[in-house]
């Protein structure tokens, strides 16, 4: 199928960006992946995309999984910039990815 690429957080291959809008401190970056389908989803999250650094998870049908990552932002005089703030999410079935910019020690 042809056509223009589309931006979405639903599919089998997409990217999530850690926006540099917070200070790291005790915060972490979290990605939640939901499996709305009827089959288990085998998911790989890469950071940076194309690297050998990845997290593999299996999400049962109709479930959601949260995965935390170390904060990658760097502060420079009050402004944050990302070091490796892009994550690639790949799955063998359609999933939905959500990025949580701030995670504070056990409380969402």
Helix/strand/coil for 53: coil
Residue 4's pLDDT band, with cuts at 50, 70 and 90, is very low
Mean pLDDT of 10-17: 86
**pTM of the model as a whole:** 0.73
Q: What pLDDT does 83 receive?
A: 60
36-47: average pLDDT: 94
**Which pLDDT band, with edges at 50, 70 and 90, does 1 fall under?**
very low
Q: What residue ranges in 1-108 does DSSP mark as E strands?
A: 10-17, 27-34, 41-46, 54-59, 64-70, 73-76, 79-82, 86-104
Confidence class for position 16, pLDDT limits 50, 70, 90? confident
CA gap 45, 29 in Å, rounded: 13
Residue 20 reports pLDDT greater than 80: no
């Amino acid at each position: 199928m042809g056509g223009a690429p589309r931006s979405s957080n639903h599919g089998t291959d997409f990217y999530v960006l850690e926006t540099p809008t917070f200070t790291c401190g005790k915060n972490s970056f979290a990605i939640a992946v939901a499996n709305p389908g009827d089959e288990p989803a085998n998911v790989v999250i890469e950071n940076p995309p194309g690297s050998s650094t990845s997290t593999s998870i299996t999400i049962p049908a109709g479930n959601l999984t949260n995965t935390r990552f170390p904060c990658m932002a760097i502060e420079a005089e009050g402004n944050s910039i990302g070091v490796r703030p892009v994550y690639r999410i790949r799955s063998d079935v359609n999933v939905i990815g959500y990025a949580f910019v701030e995670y504070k020690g056990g409380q969402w």
